[in-house]
A and B are shown apart, each in its own frame.
Chain A
Amino acid sequence: QKEVEQNSGPLSVPEGAIASLNCTYSDRVSQSFFWYRQYSGKSPELIMSIYSNGDKEDGRFTAQLNKASQYVSLLIRDSQPSDSATYLCAVNPGRNYQLIWGAGTKLIIKP
């Protein structure tokens, strides 16, 4: 059983709409949660980190964490074609310092 699950997509969203990306994790004691964006052929780039239940906003991005339900989501408002990328969810289970990674969701923003 995978420890971090993401829908592989592709998720297609019209330009200007809200893109919603979801991630579930299996380890209840997980402490820290990260969203990374990865363009094709490039390395992952940190977008957001979240540690407490609730919402965290940064510009057009909002991360949402629900530890009781064991999911974390990323909302992208006013989606732009430049947001087209694969979004990776990473979870620190707290046991050690190795992040557990999802396989990523491919997002396509259609002009």
Chain B
Amino acid sequence: DTGVSQDPRHKITKRGQNVTFRCDPISEHNRLYWYRQTLGQGPEFLTYFQNEAQLEKSRLLSDRFSAERPKGSFSTLEIQRTEQGDSAMYLCASSLAGGDQPQHFGDGTRLSIL
């Protein structure tokens, strides 16, 4: 069990640039989640996949954000035209199917917008 892997660990970019993050879930997990977290707050749900299907997306999520999980394995999260307010830790988690299954997190990608 290699755990959830996220890449890159840190990303610094200028406002207006596009960024893409990758997440590799635990291999047997068919659910994958993206969260955003800022200092002093709990994780904020962004979206989740079951296999390759994106089943839910936060209503608060700007259309600048898009996520894919094309083959039901790894996932990417893209932010277009980044803004200062996008600076945060982006967390990926995975789980087995079932609402009672705990989610396991990767180390996160810290995004800093200059």
Q: Which residues of A are at the interface with B, using a C-beta cutoff of 8 A?
A: 4, 8, 31-32, 34, 42-46, 49, 51, 88, 90, 92, 94, 96-99, 101-104
Once the chains bind, are B100 and A104 in contact (CB under 8 Å)? no
Once the chains bind, are B42 and A34 in contact (CB under 8 Å)? no
Give which listed residue, B31, B40, B44, B56, contacts A8 with CB less than 8 A. Answer: B40
A42 to B108, CA, bound (A): 8
Distance to closest chain A CB from B114 (angstroms): 20
Give which listed residue, A32, A43, A101, contacts B42 with CB less than 8 A. Answer: A101
Closest to B58 in A: A98
Which residues on B sit within 8 Å (CB–CB) of A99? 45, 103
Closest to A46 in B: B102
Closest to A8 in B: B40
Give which listed residue, A32, A42, A51, A98, contacts B56 with CB less than 8 A. Answer: A98
Closest to B6 in A: A43
Once the chains bind, are A34 and B107 in contact (CB under 8 Å)? no
Q: What string of 1s and 0s marks CB contacts (under 8 Å) between B42-57 and chain A?
A: 1111001000000110
A97 to B33, CA, bound (A): 10
A99 to B56, CA, bound (A): 12
CB within 8 Å for A94 and B42 given contacts A43-B106, A45-B105 = no
Asked if B62 is at the interface (CB within 8 A of a chain A CB), the reply is no
CB within 8 Å for A32 and B99 given contacts A102-B42, A103-B42 = yes
Asked if B111 is at the interface (CB within 8 A of a chain A CB), the reply is no
Asked if B91 is at the interface (CB within 8 A of a chain A CB), the reply is yes
